[in-house]
Each structure stands twice: as structure tokens, then as C-alpha cells.
């Protein structure tokens, strides 16, 4: 099963011609707005999953209960069973539209897991948290250990981003992809993200641009996990959106079996 992150550029595409089994949207873009395009996806048999960008679970501002009530209403309206956000900070006084890392420390495990519990109490359901890219960070433990300790204490799910693990390894020479994956409880993973990234000479870093085809290692790791654990895969392509033909080719590659 392969899904696709739905973007405004796709509004004019014929839904039946998109080779995606489900779609993912940012709830922030659809609260108190015309949801006709999403209803059309649902009517075409393509379920919707919600992936947010503004909870700022790693921030310090109070959790926005009014926003969460809007999310709860949106989930009911769209019959969406999944809601996720990032294990990162995205601004407190203002939404900064970027993701900032949190230190991998015992203190942050407790603080952030408490915030996730609060979110789940308001929504009345478990959420998933996504492992993110980071370009610098500090801490007393590995990213994989931090992720697992947070989700176990919060009793939440994981949205496992395979591309983010690959980008962090390239930039920091820490856990390789398979080493990271071996530490993740796959029973907690709701689905996976894959995407493309590129090297930026200005910073000397690989940047999580979501504007390139999925790398073979990322694709093969996701396919292996799908075969082993029946975990769906979702393609993110957020910038320089290509043609539907290219998107469909990428989706087809996420449905192709590999040798085990």
C-alpha cells in the first residue's frame, strides 16, 4: 500500500489517475475551509490521514486545546483514523514554519511525553510522532533511544520517516539506517514516509527538501519493512512538484517487491 502527500498543485489532477491508495494532508490547511477536494478523494475510495505541522511538541508554549478540538472535528468529518505531528519544536509565540530539534536528554523525554499525553487526552485517541531531520543537536542518548523512550512513556505511535534517518546519518555520521531501524518497535509504527533530499553546497549539508526522487536505499528499506510488518508507505514530494506521470512512477516503485 502506497500513499501520497496531497499538495495544492494536485488539485487539477484526475483523482482516478493518481496511483495512490491513500492521501495525507496537513490539518492546518483544512480547518474552517472548503473541504470539497478531500471529499472527492474519499468518494474515490482514497482515505485521508492527517499530518500536522504546528503542535510544536518540542516547544514550551501551552498545548493549543482549541486547535486540537478543531482537529478532532476534522478527523470526524473526514473519517480520518490517523493524526501525527513532529517530534520537534516549530515555534512558540509564532509559528516559524520550520522544525527545530530538541535535546536528546532524560529531561526532554519526560517533558515531551507529558505534552503528547496532554494532546491525546484532548483528542481522545493516540497520535503518532515523526522522527525528524536535524542539522545540529546535543544530548545524552542516541536519536533512536530518545524516540523510543518518548513514545513508550507517552504510549503513542510512530510515523517513521525513513528519509530523515538517511539524511541525519549522512550529515552526522551517526546511526546507519539499518542500525536505527533495529532499535524501533515496529508494532508502534502506523506508516512510513519516504522522500528525496539533496546536498546544499552553501551549508555543506544534505537538506531534507522533498524535491527529488526517493533514493534506492530508502526505498528498499521501506519495502522490506512493508513486507515484514505490513506497514504502509507514503511518498512526500513538497517542492518542485513534478508531473503526475513522475509521481505515479515513484508510487509504482513503492509497490514493487524486492528480494529478501
What is the arithmetic mean of pLDDT over 201-229? 88
213/247: higher pLDDT: 247
**Alpha-carbon distance values, 31 to 35, 68, 70, 75, 196 (Å):** 9, 11, 7, 10, 29
12/93: higher pLDDT: 12
**Rounded CA gap, 54 and 64, in Å?**
9
**Rounded CA gap, 139 and 106, in Å?**
9
Neighbouring CB atoms inside 10 A of 32's CB total 8
Query: How much is the mean pLDDT over the chain?
Result: 90
Mapped to the 3 state alphabet, what secondary structure does 124-162 carry?
A: CCCCEEECCCCCCCCECCCHHHHHHHHHHHHCCEEEEEH
Q: Are 179 and 172 in contact (CB under 8 A)?
A: no
**Rounded CA gap, 73 and 111, in Å?**
27
**Rounded CA gap, 79 and 113, in Å?**
26
**Whole-number percent of the chain with pLDDT over 90:** 71
Give the tens place of pLDDT for each residue, 80-124: 999 999 999 886 544 445 677 899 999 999 999 999 999 999 999
Which residues face 194 on adjacent strands? 235
What is the arithmetic mean of pLDDT over 128-145? 88
pLDDT of res. 95:
47
| Residue 130 clears pLDDT 70, i.e. is over it | yes
pLDDT of res. 109:
97
pLDDT of res. 94:
43
**Rounded CA gap, 222 and 214, in Å?**
11
pLDDT of res. 91:
63
| Cell reading at 59 | 516547544
Residues with Cβ < 8 Å from 155, sequence gap 6 or more?
A: 117, 120, 126
Nearest of 178, 196, 186 to residue 159 by alpha carbon? 186
DSSP 137: -
Residues with Cβ < 8 Å from 96, sequence gap 6 or more?
A: 90
Q: Are 210 and 196 in contact (CB under 8 A)?
A: yes
| Residue 38 clears pLDDT 90, i.e. is over it | yes
12-16, 97-101, 187-191, 215-219: least confidently modelled range = 97-101
Amino acid at each position: 500500500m502506497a500513499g501520497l502527500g496531497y499538495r495544492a498543485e494536485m488539485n487539477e489532477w484526475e483523482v482516478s489517475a493518481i496511483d495512490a491508495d491513500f492521501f495525507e494532508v496537513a490539518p492546518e490547511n483544512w480547518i474552517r475551509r472548503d473541504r470539497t477536494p478531500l471529499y472527492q478523494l474519499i468518494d474515490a475510495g482514497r482515505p485521508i490521514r492527517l499530518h500536522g505541522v504546528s503542535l510544536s511538541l518540542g516547544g514550551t508554549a501551552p498545548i493549543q486545546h482549541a486547535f486540537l478540538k478543531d482537529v478532532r472535528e476534522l478527523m470526524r468529518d473526514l473519517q480520518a483514523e490517523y493524526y501525527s505531528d513532529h517530534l520537534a519544536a516549530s515555534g512558540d509565540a509564532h509559528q516559524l514554519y520550520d522544525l527545530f530539534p530538541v535535546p536528546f536528554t532524560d529531561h526532554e523525554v519526560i517533558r515531551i511525553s507529558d505534552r503528547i499525553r496532554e494532546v491525546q487526552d484532548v483528542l481522545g485517541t493516540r497520535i503518532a510522532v515523526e522522527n525528524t531531520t536535524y542539522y545540529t543537536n546535543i544530548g545524552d542518548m542516541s536519536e533512536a533511544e530518545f524516540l523510543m523512550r518518548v513514545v513508550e512513556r507517552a504510549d503513542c505511535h510512530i510515523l517513521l520517516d525513513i528519509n530523515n534517518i538517511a539524511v541525519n546519518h549522512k550529515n552526522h555520521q551517526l546511526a546507519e539506517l539499518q542500525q536505527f531501524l533495529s532499535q524501533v518497535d515496529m508494532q508502534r509504527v502506523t506508516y512510513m514516509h519516504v522522500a528525496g533530499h539533496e546536498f546544499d553546497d552553501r551549508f555543506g549539508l544534505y537538506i531534507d527538501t522533498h524535491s527529488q526522487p526517493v533514493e534506492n536505499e530508502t526505498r528498499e528499506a521501506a519495502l522490506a519493512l512493508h513486507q515484514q510488518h505490513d506497514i504502509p508507505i507514503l511518498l512526500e514530494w513538497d517542492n518542485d512538484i513534478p508531473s503526475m506521470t513522475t509521481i505515479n512512477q515513484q508510487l509504482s516503485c513503492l509497490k514493487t517487491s524486492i528480494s529478501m
